[in-house]
């Protein structure tokens, strides 16, 4: 009699026990190229395939492991994965469960650095147009660094020597470790909200890439790039570059160099002011001498050299002008007198009194001269105006 058939679940479970029972598959290192990559935003799980020239295996990295990655996996990236092989019973598919992942040939930190740098550069966060100039004579300098490191001592000493009038506003923070990025970011934002300083120095001493990793944080880079206050990044030594160096308005190779970049040299300024004073004094003497020579030239062979002669010349000219003005006035008056006489003659010829002088009279009715008597009724009273005298009359 044949045995009872097995269920699909039983078969898959059995195969899974066989795979997981083989200790060689419980902790393996496997190298390959990522393809079909899919990151689940909500769950945080990563799903992808790992392939070589001849084969492919499905893989998954759960969020608990994925959040420890220093870089972002992507299609085409060659990686080395540590994990285990098992069977996903619901689909009857065996797959790789990744617990750790490292780039093949390039360290995870270095790859994460290059990925973030390229992404932020593409957004324009490092554009030269965004850079702000440093103030020439800062009154308050914000310093974001460890309160116990050599960086803060160097900054204080150099500022006191070069520009002692500046006040140092220290924001003590951690400069390495998991809590460092959040503290650094909060310090940058706090100084901007307060608006209490003219320039900010963000820095620490040198170290390994792991030591400096807090300054490669994306949130910190965005806070630095968005700062309204100019920021000088002074992280590590001269050969070390961090993301903050690219996002800042200016990069200094060391904290000491940052302090020098942010402060003018007091003695150099004194020498410059003294040089300006000497220059302007010399120019003033030259100007006065030049004006004196000009006055001398003007007074030579001119009335200015003999004030009495100058006054006599001006008086003579004034007399001549007065005579010309008097003659012009007489001529104008005579012309106006002749014009007036001519106009008076014409007016006299046109005067009604001339007509009355020849024996004529003017008839007025109600104050108006009458040209036609027909409209006036008999018995109407009128006024007769002769050359000599006026009488009232009544029409018949």
Q: At what angle do helices 108-122 and 218-225 cross, to 10 degrees?
A: 30
Distance CA 78, CA 51 (A): 9
Domain assignment present for residue 336? The answer is no
Same domain, 127 and 191: yes
The confidence score (pLDDT) of residue 318 equals 87
Q: What is the pLDDT of residue 357?
A: 67
Contact 105, 33 (CB under 8 A): no
Same domain, 125 and 100: no
Q: Are residues 184 and 289 both part of a single domain?
A: no
Q: How far is CA 70 from the centre of its chain?
A: 36
C-alpha 357/C-alpha 173 separation (Å) is: 124
- Kindly state whether residues 118 and 171 are assigned to the same domain: yes
The CATH number that applies at residue 52 is 2.40.50.140
Phi-psi bin for 177: left (phi > 0), alpha (psi -120 to 50), beta? Answer: left
Query: Is residue 28 included in any domain, yes or no?
Result: yes
The verdict on 206 and 121 lying in the same domain is yes
- If asked whether residues 160 and 256 sit together in one domain, one would say yes
Last residue of a domain, one of 264, 296, 326: 264
User: For position 306, what pLDDT does the model report?
Assistant: 65
- Ranges of the chain with pLDDT below 70: 1-2, 41, 105-107, 237-239, 300-307, 349, 351-357, 359
Query: Based on the domain organization, do 101 and 118 belong to the same domain?
Result: no
Q: How far apart are CA 83 and CA 32, in angstroms?
A: 13
Flag whether the pTM goes above 0.85.
no
| Residues 256 and 291 both lie in one domain | no
pLDDT for 41 equals: 65
Q: How high is the pLDDT of residue 305? A: 60
- In the chain, which ranges are E strands? 28-39, 46-51, 56-61, 78-88, 93-103, 140-145, 167-172, 199-204, 231-235, 250-251, 362-365, 368-369, 381-385, 390-394
Query: Side by side, which strands form the sheet with 381-385?
Result: 368-369, 362-365, 381-385, 390-394
Half-sphere exposure of 220 (CA within 13 A, CB side): 26
- For residue 4, the 8-state DSSP code is P
- The verdict on 172 and 227 lying in the same domain is yes
pLDDT at 304: 59
Predicted pLDDT of residue 139: 95
Q: Is residue 270 part of a domain?
A: no
The answer on 260 and 127 residing in a single domain is yes
Instruction: Assess if residue 225 is contained within a domain.
Output: yes
Q: Is residue 315 part of a domain?
A: no
Rounded to 5 degrees, φ, ψ at 223 are -65, -40
Describe the crossing of helices 218-225 and 180-194 by its angle, rounded to 10 degrees.
Answer: 20
Same domain, 134 and 228: yes
* Torsion angle, alpha carbons of 322, 325, 326, 329, to 10: -160
- Give me the number of domains the chain comprises: 4
Same domain for 120 and 237, yes or no, is: yes
> Quick check: is 149 in a domain?
yes
CB count within 10 Å of CB 68 equals 11
Residues in a beta bridge with 383: 364, 392
Final residue before a domain boundary, out of 229, 264, 299: 264
pLDDT at 113: 86
Domain assignment present for 67: yes
Q: Can you give the residue range of the structural domain that contains 289?
A: 276-308
* 124 is a domain residue: yes
**How does pLDDT run across 279-325, given as a tens digit for each residue?**
888 888 888 888 888 877 777 666 656 667 777 778 888 888 888 89
């Amino acid at each position: 009699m044949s045995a009872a058939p097995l269920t699909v679940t039983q078969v898959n479970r059995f195969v899974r026990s066989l795979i997981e029972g083989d200790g060689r598959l419980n902790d393996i290192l496997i190298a390959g190229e990522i393809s079909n990559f899919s990151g689940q935003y909500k769950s945080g799980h990563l799903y992808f395939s790992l392939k070589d020239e001849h084969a492919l295996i499905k893989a998954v990295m759960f969020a608990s492991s994925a959040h420890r990655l220093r870089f972002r996996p992507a299609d085409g990236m060659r990686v080395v994965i540590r994990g285990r092989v098992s069977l996903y019973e619901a689909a009857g598919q065996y797959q790789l469960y990744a617990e750790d992942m490292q780039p093949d040939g390039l360290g995870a930190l270095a790859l994460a650095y290059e990925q973030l740098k390229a992404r932020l550069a593409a957004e324009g966060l490092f554009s030269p147009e965004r850079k702000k100039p440093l103030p020439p004579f800062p009154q308050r300098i914000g310093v974001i660094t460890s309160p116990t490191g050599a960086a803060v001592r160097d900054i204080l000493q150099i500022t006191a020597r070069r520009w002692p009038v500046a006040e140092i506003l220290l924001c003590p923070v951690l400069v390495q470790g998991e809590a460092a990025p959040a503290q650094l970011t909060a310090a940058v934002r706090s100084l901007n909200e307060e608006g209490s300083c003219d320039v900010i120095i963000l820095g620490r001493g040198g170290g390994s890439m792991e030591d400096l990793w807090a300054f490669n944080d994306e949130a910190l880079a965005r806070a630095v790039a968005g700062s309204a206050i100019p920021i000088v990044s002074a992280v590590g030594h001269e050969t070390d570059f961090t993301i903050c160096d690219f996002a800042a308005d200016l990069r200094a190779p060391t904290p000491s160099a940052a302090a020098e970049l942010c402060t003018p040299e007091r003695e150099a300024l004194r020498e410059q002011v003294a040089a300006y004073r000497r220059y302007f004094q010399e120019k003033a003497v030259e100007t006065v001498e030049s004006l004196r020579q000009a006055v001398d030239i003007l007074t030579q062979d001119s009335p200015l050299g003999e004030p009495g002669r100058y006054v006599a010349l001006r008086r003579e000219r004034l007399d001549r002008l007065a005579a010309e003005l008097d003659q012009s006035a007489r001529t104008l008056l005579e012309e106006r007198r002749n014009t007036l006489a001519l106009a008076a003659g014409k007016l006299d010829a046109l005067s009604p009194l001339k007509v009355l002088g020849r024996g004529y009279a003017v008839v007025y009715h109600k104050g108006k001269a009458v040209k036609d008597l027909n409209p006036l009724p008999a018995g109407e009273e009128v006024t007769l105006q002769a050359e000599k005298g006026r009488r009232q009359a009544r029409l018949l």
